[in-house]
Amino acid sequence: MGCLDSMRECCDRPKNTNIRISFPAVCFVWQTAMIILFGVFIRYDEESDTHWVEYKKEKNITSDAENDFYFRYPSFQDVHVMIFVGFGFLMTFLQRYSFSGVGFNFLIAAFGIQWALLMQGWFHSLDYTDGKIKIGVESLINADFCVAGCLIAYGAILGKVSPVQLMVLTLFGVTLFAIEEYIILNIIHAKDAGGSMVIHTFGGYYGLSISWVLYRPNLEQSKRLHGSVYHSDVFAMIGTLFLWMFWPSFNSAITDHGDGQHRAAINTYLSLASTVLTTFAISSLFQKTGKVDMVHIQNSTLAGGVAVGTAAEFMLMPYGSLIVGFCCGIISTLGYIFLTPFMERKLKIQDTCGIHNLHAMPGVIGGIVGAITAAAASKEVYGTEGLINTFDFEGHFERSPTVQGGYQAAGLCVAIVFAIGGGIFVGCILKLPIWGDVADEHCFDDEFYWEVPEEEESLHPVLEYNNHMMINKRTDMVESNFSEPQT
């Protein structure tokens, strides 16, 4: 009891945002740890090693075009753009938090991908003959995917945490992700090409749980900065569009060569197109005089990509993709209008970017769509070989599609459990008063972690001129006020 009291007391101390020791220390220690662990564990795989020349002869591979690099590298680069420019710029929408939005996104993604290569490597690509993890282009994509989960979580707590907290969030987030992913993909053997469950459901609820633990009762004191300005909204559109455009690459990046990648790209392209229209429609319908809200356009237009993630490689059919997008545009936009305020007021969950509407809900929908599509698969539609090929019904995973549907649903549950459990655990750690986060009245302000350029006066010569004249004038007036008595 005394312990709990002292803990509470400790948490109630005035906030100190000086992270001059803790932040560099965390960066240096963790990066050094990465170097050591990489030295011990990580090597090139046979396609990126100089032994490729000999490997080719051995395996009778006639062309370098068969190197996985050429099948996946263009998609990898698109995914990379989504992670750094897409997520980064999407979070620049706040008027005075653009530096942190894009900058800390950069930081934690760069850290996360290294840790992810290790964690995912241990689970997925450990070579038991020599105890090394062998990496290639697919590992890089998977690392980017893994980090996406943490970046999604960042969206919920944007503006309310310190960079040190974000590093901690990422360390645990990547760890949890790798375990959860291993259970869902390898043990349960669910399919999840675009990560509706593994990435978006997990990342969404992970972030929301953390935000719930870190609830800030007096956040309205920062209200003045909790909005956008004209140009910050345009910056955010850069993020939106790069996410939107490259989502077909995201969902197809690690699917099977050939028809798998091809089909996943088409399905995602269609689902996203459909989402745009229903997002505009709902946004206009619920605003006075039919005006559209930028927040919805920046976020809800992407929900279709999330929701089609699991089923993108299945025979969802073009119209099926359109239907998924159609529904998600509606649900996600309604979420922004009704659910986010409700969650803040009633559930004490403050969700800065509305990740519940963009990632969590559409992710769950995606998991369900995936389960249904899998359960409905048949040899008539897929072809005998196609069915085996698409679902990897081989070895001790020889299942009927119906059973696979059940396992898909199980996978979704695992993602949610890991996300909420992990989020609450990590949230409690982040609540410790040692991480240098800001007080409630200083949220959404770059000022505390960045050297911010002080003035923009020179941009407004006319205004500046007026102001200078007025200041002079004022001084004159003050003087004249003083001298007035004499007259």
Site for a copy of itself in 210-239 (CB under 8 A): 224-225, 227-231, 233-235, 237-238
Q: Contact between 14 and a copy of itself (CB under 8 A)?
A: no
173 binds a copy of itself (CB under 8 A): no
Among residues 92, 354, 88, which one has the least CA distance to residue 232?
92
Regarding 361 and contact with a copy of itself (CB under 8 A), the answer is: no
List the interface residues with a copy of itself, window 299-338 (CB under 8 A): 301, 315, 317-319, 322-323, 326
Q: Residue 307 has which token pair?
A: 């929701």
Q: Could you say which of 126, 179, 273, 439 contacts a copy of itself (CB under 8 A)?
A: 273
Q: Whose Cβ is closer to a copy of itself: residue 13's or residue 291's?
A: 291
**Smaller CB separation from a copy of itself, 168 or 297:** 297
Smaller CB distance to a copy of itself: residue 217 or 453?
453
Reported residue count of the chain is 487
Residue 375 contacts a copy of itself per CB under 8 A: no
SS3 assignment, position 432: coil
Site for a copy of itself in 149-168 (CB under 8 A): 163
Question: Is 46:55 a contact under the CB 8 Å cutoff?
Answer: yes
Helix (H, G, I), strand (E, B), or coil: what is residue 44?
A: strand
Of 261, 332, 352, 408, which lies in the binding site for a copy of itself, with binding defined by CB under 8 A? 261
291 binds a copy of itself (CB under 8 A): yes
User: Which residues between 18 and 57 bind a copy of itself (CB under 8 A)?
Assistant: 18-24, 27-28, 30-32, 34-36, 38-39, 42-44, 47-54, 56
Beta carbons within 8 Å of 329's beta carbon, 6+ residues apart: 274, 275, 276, 277, 278, 279, 281, 282, 300, 301, 303, 304
Residue 434 tokens read as 């040692």
d(CA 402, CA 391): 12
378 near a copy of itself (CB under 8 A): no
Can residue 242 be called a binding residue for a copy of itself (CB under 8 A)? yes
Asked if 99 is part of the footprint of a copy of itself (rule: CB under 8 A), the reply reads: yes
* Least spacing, CB of residue 436 vs a copy of itself, in Å: 8
Contact present, 272 and 330 (Cβ < 8 Å): no
In this chain, which of 126, 179, 213, 266 binds a copy of itself, going by CB under 8 A?
266
Nearer of residues 413 and 464 to a copy of itself, judged by Cβ: 464
Rounded to an integer, what distance in angstroms lies between the CA atom of residue 60 and that of residue 448?
59
CA–CA separation, 126 and 474 (whole Å)? 74
Using rule CB under 8 A, residue 385 touches a copy of itself: yes
Place of tokens 């809900």: 361
Q: Which of residues 74-93 bind a copy of itself (CB under 8 A)?
A: 74-75, 77-78, 80-81, 84-85, 88-89, 92
**Cα(86)–Cα(241) distance, integer angstroms:** 8
Query: Which of 254, 265, 339, 365: binder of a copy of itself (CB under 8 A)?
Result: 265
Task: Give whichever of 12 and 455 is closer to a copy of itself, judged by the CB atom.
Answer: 455
The residue from 282, 302, 303, 419 that contacts a copy of itself (CB under 8 A) is: 282
Give me the phi and psi of 113, to 5 degrees please.
-65, -30
Q: Which of residues 439-468 bind a copy of itself (CB under 8 A)?
A: 448-464, 466-467
Interactions with a copy of itself, residue window 112-151 (CB under 8 A): 113-114, 135-137, 140
Phi, psi dihedral angles at 42 (to 5 degrees): -105, 130
Alpha carbons 248 and 244: distance in angstroms, whole number: 8
**Binding residues for a copy of itself, total number by CB under 8 A:** 162
- Token pair for 185: 């993909």
Instruction: In whole angstroms, give the CA distance from residue 35 to residue 38.
Output: 5
Piece in contact with a copy of itself (CB under 8 A), picked from 149-157, 206-214, 290-298, 415-423: 290-298
Asked if 211 contacts 156 with a C-beta cutoff of 8 angstroms, the reply is yes
What's the sign of the alpha-carbon dihedral 114, 118, 119, 121? positive
Nearer to a copy of itself, 210 or 272 (CB): 272
